[in-house]
Every structure is written in C-alpha cells, then in structure tokens.
Amino acid sequence: MARSSKSKPDASVNSVAALRDGGAKSKSPKGAKGSNSGNWENVKAILWTLVIFLAIRTFLFEAYRIPSGSMIPTLLVGDWLFVNKLAYGPHVPFTDINLPGYAEPERGDVVVFKSPYQYDQPEDPHPTLVKRLVAVAGDTVYMRGGLFYLNGVAQPQPDAMNANPRADGSFSIPLFEWQREHQVSGTRFGEPPAIITLDDWGPLVVPPGHLFMLGDNRYDSKDGRYWGIVPRENVRGRPSFVYYSYVTAAESDRAMPFLTDIRWSRIGTVIK
C-alpha cells in the first residue's frame, strides 16, 4: 500500500517556534514593568522635591515682597526679602503650633507677622505684615506730638521722619478705640488724652505674650496704632536680606521694570 504524501510536522520546528513565541511573550511583561518602574521613580523624585521645598519654605526660609512704603527707607516698595523663619520658631501651617526657635524677638528687630484682626478690610482681615518691633511685654508706650516714648524715654525718630515732611497726625478715627482697653492712668507717664489721635495716645502697657509694632515711615504706616498689639504666636520670621529689588511700575518710566529698572545696589542688603 502506498504511503500518504502528507508528513507529520517536524517536532523540532514546532518546539523552536514555541520557544520563540514564548520568549517574546515573556519579555513584554518585563519591559512593561521596567517602564512603570521608571515612571514611578520620576514621580517619587518630583514628590521628594516638593517635600523638600515645602519643608524649607515652612521651617527655614520664605520669600516675601514689600508691597507698601510703611518701612521706608529700611525697606522699599519692590524689595524681595528672604525671611528667616527658624529664628523665632517656625509656624506649622494650618495649626496653632509654633516650634521653638533659637532667638526671641527683641526691641528694634524688623519682624514678619500675621496681623491681628483688621475689621476695616474684610477681604483680608489677617494680612502678613513687616514692621519694626518697638515694645515687648511689660513695656509702657505712648506718643506725644508724634514723638514715641518707651517706658518714659523719648526714642530716636526713624530716618524716614527726617526724610519726609511731618504730616498731620491730629486726626482721630474709630480704629484707634482698641487702645482704651489697655490705657493706664495715674502713672508717672501722664494721663491718656481725652481724644486718641495718630500723634497723641497712651500710655498703654503691652500685656504678657504680646508685642507692639510700628512702621519706620510713621505717617505712611498702618501699624499697631490702628490694629493693636500682636500676639507672640503671630510672629512668622525675621527678614535677613534683600535678594532682589526693582522700581515698581507705578514709579518707573520703563517697560517691564522688574527686568529693566533693577535696584542693583539693594541686592544683598542686610536688613537692620
């Protein structure tokens, strides 16, 4: 009997094909895994960068821009500062917790802090401000004729008072009424005025755990005379130096003044 012309498939060929197909299939999961691993490493690198940035910003340094002239000539509108948050103890965001610092705010320091409640600006009742600390807990403060007194001793006027003409400080507004709660009578510092004005107020005693702030540019500064004493826990840091400064658009006649009207001499200025 004649044999059929069909032959059985070569087993060796089938084995090679199977190995080839199997090998290809086994490589694809490994390749996908490698790709996913690479993507995850990139994500982790980004997350760690964010964590480090937020840690530095929260606990060490933060940038701050000067928006007003209340601290002229110490600080100018358009100055950008690095604020040392570790000095007085960093504040933990979204909490009432302040971590210990290596220093306490002292009279004469320039301080960044969260303002006490300002009911006249409901859109931002607790702005972050920078002013000069002029009195600490237990100090008695007052003004007579625009001259500031600390514990009965007249204090040197800021440079801004010499550079700018004296404005009219005889006005009285409801924002000053907070002072009555802290006024003292029958002391060697004299009696409080019947009408509280910008230039004549006090004597007041700064209560425990609080600080009193004024702007160097006294007649262009909405400061402690308006919104009161600052709780110690509101302190956010101490400005260290100016890292960038430019003439603002309101004062410059150049296009893009942040690039074309830079105050080169201000960069690196240590804040005192």
SS (H, E, C) 204-254: EECCCCEEEEECCCHHHCCCHHHHCCEEHHHEEEEEEEEEEEECCCCCCCC
Specify whether the backbone of 176 is left (phi greater than 0), alpha (psi in -120 to 50) or beta. alpha
Peptide linkage before 105 cis (omega within 30 of 0): no
- The reported pLDDT for the residue numbered 232 is 96
Q: Which of 5, 8, 68, 70 is catalytic?
A: 70
Largest CA distance in the chain: 139
The CA-based angle 209-146-81, given to 5 degrees, is: 55
- The reported pLDDT for the residue numbered 94 is 75
- The reported pLDDT for the residue numbered 34 is 62
Burial code of 225-254, b = ≥16 C-beta within 10 A, e = fewer? bbbbbbebebbbbbbeebebbbbeeeeeee
Helix (H, G, I), strand (E, B) or coil at 144: strand
Give the Cα separation of 237 and 62 in Å (integer): 9
**Proportion of the chain in helix, strand, coil states, percent, rounded to 5:** 30, 25, 45
- The reported pLDDT for the residue numbered 165 is 66
Sign of CA dihedral 271, 109, 179, 149: negative
Question: 27 Cβ partners below 8 Å, 6+ apart?
Answer: none
pTM above threshold 0.85: no
The DSSP letter of residue 262 is B
Q: Which of 85, 115, 131, 221 is catalytic?
A: 131
Question: 68 Cβ partners below 8 Å, 6+ apart?
Answer: 77, 220
State which amino acid sits at residue 229. Answer: I
Q: Report whether 72 contacts 216 (CB < 8 A).
A: yes
Tens digit of pLDDT per residue, the chain (272 long)?
444 444 454 544 454 444 455 544 445 455 556 667 778 777 767 776 666 656 555 555 688 999 999 999 999 999 999 999 999 988 887 777 888 889 999 999 999 999 999 999 999 999 999 999 999 999 999 999 999 999 999 998 877 766 666 788 999 999 999 999 999 999 999 999 999 999 999 999 999 999 999 999 999 999 999 999 999 999 999 999 999 999 999 999 999 999 999 999 999 999 99
- Determine how many CB atoms are found less than 10 A away from the CB of residue 136: 18
Q: Is 114 a catalytic residue?
A: no
Peptide linkage before 73 cis (omega within 30 of 0): yes
Q: Report whether 212 contacts 229 (CB < 8 A).
A: yes
Give the Cα separation of 82 and 268 in Å (integer): 10
Burial code of 12-50, b = ≥16 C-beta within 10 A, e = fewer? eeeeeeeeeeeeeeeeeeeeeeeeeeeeeeeeeeeeeee
Closest CA to 213 of 224, 202, 198, 225: 224
- The reported pLDDT for the residue numbered 111 is 97
Q: Is 131 a catalytic residue?
A: yes
